[in-house]
Amino acid sequence: MDPMTQEFKPQRHVPVLPDEVVQGLEPLDGCVVADLTLGGGGHAELLARRVGPTGRLIGIDCDAEQLERARIRLSDLQVELIHARFDQAGEIFRSRGLQADRVLADLGFCSEQLDDPDRGLAFRHEGIADMRLDRTRGEPAHRLLDRLDERELARILWEYGEEKQSRRIARKIVEARHERLPWTTTRLAN
């Protein structure tokens, strides 16, 4: 089967260590909980049920697609979902006159995002190299690979990827442009 034509079907998010998260945060009835990395809403669902109807859960995620899945999952609960980066949480809470009693930030990658070939984040599934968690903002990687000069590509690879061979890789990318092939994850890996 051609990996470029396989359809990606997201699975229902299963939260990691759910009991430990709830026990560690000890959300009480009526408190305000902030889930700064909402994802599929697994932890948020458990926490929102614990704070009850007098409490409030604010869920933040930079991924609009994950946010929509969470919105569906949490539709029967008292939650407010916000499309933003977790580093904007302070500003979001100040603007609403809120203070969080409990905060959850699960800073790891969501395997669902890595497994989605349309996101172009991982080499194990061929897809166009997009490489953005929030596809509503910024420029996809494949466009940057075609547009940026060798020096800028090397800088990005060094600064953000901590890649020791950033200059060599940038040179290879610029040299490969004449092939006029799409920038896929597997092409980049090779």
From the DSSP assignment, how many helices (H) and strands (E) are in the chain?
9, 4
Domains in the chain, number: 2
- Tell me the whole-structure pTM to 2 decimals: 0.78
pLDDT single digits (tens) 54-106:
999 999 999 999 999 999 999 999 899 999 999 999 999 999 999 999 999 99
Q: How do strand 32-35 and strand 79-83 relate by DSSP bridges?
A: unpaired
Please tell me the distance from the alpha carbon of residue 45 to that of residue 49, in angstroms, as a whole number.
6
In this structure, what CATH number is given to the domain that contains residue 182? 1.10.150.170
Per-run averaged pLDDT (10 residues), the chain, 190 residues: 48 79 93 96 96 96 94 95 97 96 89 83 88 90 97 96 96 95 92
Output the CA torsion 16→19→25→26 (10° steps): 160
Residues 161, 99 within the same domain: no
Among 44, 79, 107, which residue terminates a domain? 107
